[in-house]
Amino acid sequence: MSLLASLVIPVFNQVKFTQDCLESILRDSDRQPYEIIIVDNGSTDGTRQYLETKSRELDRSRDRLITICNETNLGVAPAWNQGLKAATGRTIGILNNDIVVTRGWYRSLLWAMDYHRIGMISPYAAGGPFDYDLEGRSREFTRKNLGRLWPDYDFCAVVLTRKTYERIGLFDEKYLVGGYEDQDYALRLSEAGIRYGVTGASFIHHFGSQTLGEFKKRGDQHAAHNRQYFMEKWKRDPSEGVASVATKLRRTWRNVKMKWGYM
């Protein structure tokens, strides 16, 4: 099983997004077998029933589907860590359930990670309305940007080598619900001298903030705690450095150019 690519996908309700995400992963004909680890973080909308059905279907395939069910929502970092601990693959992807991937997206990530000699990589994720030909835009985008690497991260979809994971370790679970645990991890990578980036060789669609949106509707109060904890831990404002204003502007500019067909 060690040759498998492991995909860790935490979910919390939003079963339709989970279905679309999983189906896009499985219909990719240009891939190796996957070990898919879905962490159901206390869903109440039929997610568990869907996963049970899908697991039975995949019993007859080359892929594995492992479901970890939490009775209550433990938050983002604990769910990621549950998946990482269960993963056996030589490479490990951590994915949101509100993405749709394209043909060859994972193979291209592995190529780019080796080409650029980095320890963590993300595909380019387009946002906005999903009203376009995804595969067609992916082919055009990757043709133009195959060798490009932006010094950035996007935890809607990241892939780590096992070597990177074993060196850096698990996510910090002191961040409640979700927020800053990704920035924290990127800083830990930088401190260890491990490079990361967003590649132009792989393209996906990201609907955006669907899971955390569930919490916001319920009025969670985690943001202030997470920001304070980050500042105490790193002795810096989280708006500086990895997620600086300049970084956010670069992301926005890429999205604008993407919208108007310049990328």
pLDDT of amino acid 60: 87
Note the Cα 16 to chain centre separation in Å.
Answer: 18
Say which residue, 260 or 112, is predicted with more confidence. 112
β-pairing, 99-100 vs 196-206, is antiparallel
pLDDT of amino acid 2: 47
Q: Please give the residue range of the domain that contains residue 218.
A: 5-259
Report pTM.
Answer: 0.90
How many whole angstroms separate alpha carbon 114 and alpha carbon 132? 30
SS3 (DSSP) at 124? strand
Say which residue, 3 or 142, is predicted with more confidence. 142
How many whole angstroms separate alpha carbon 1 and alpha carbon 137? 34
How many whole angstroms separate alpha carbon 119 and alpha carbon 81? 18
Between 47-58 and 15-26, two packed helices, what is the crossing angle to 10 degrees?
20
pLDDT of amino acid 208: 86
pLDDT of amino acid 216: 54
pLDDT of amino acid 107: 97
Does residue 237 register a pLDDT over 60? yes
State the average pLDDT over residues 16-28: 97
Domain CATH for 153: 3.90.550.10
Does residue 249 register a pLDDT over 70? no
pLDDT of amino acid 223: 87
For 135, the token pair is 């595969």
pLDDT of amino acid 152: 94
Mean pLDDT over all residues of the chain? 90
Q: How far is CA 259 from CA 105, 137, 207, 263, in A?
A: 20, 11, 15, 8
Does residue 3 register a pLDDT over 80? no
How many whole angstroms separate alpha carbon 165 and alpha carbon 80? 12
Q: What is the pLDDT of residues 168-177, one digit of tens each?
A: 999 999 999 8
What is the domain count for the chain?
Answer: 1
Does residue 253 register a pLDDT over 90? no
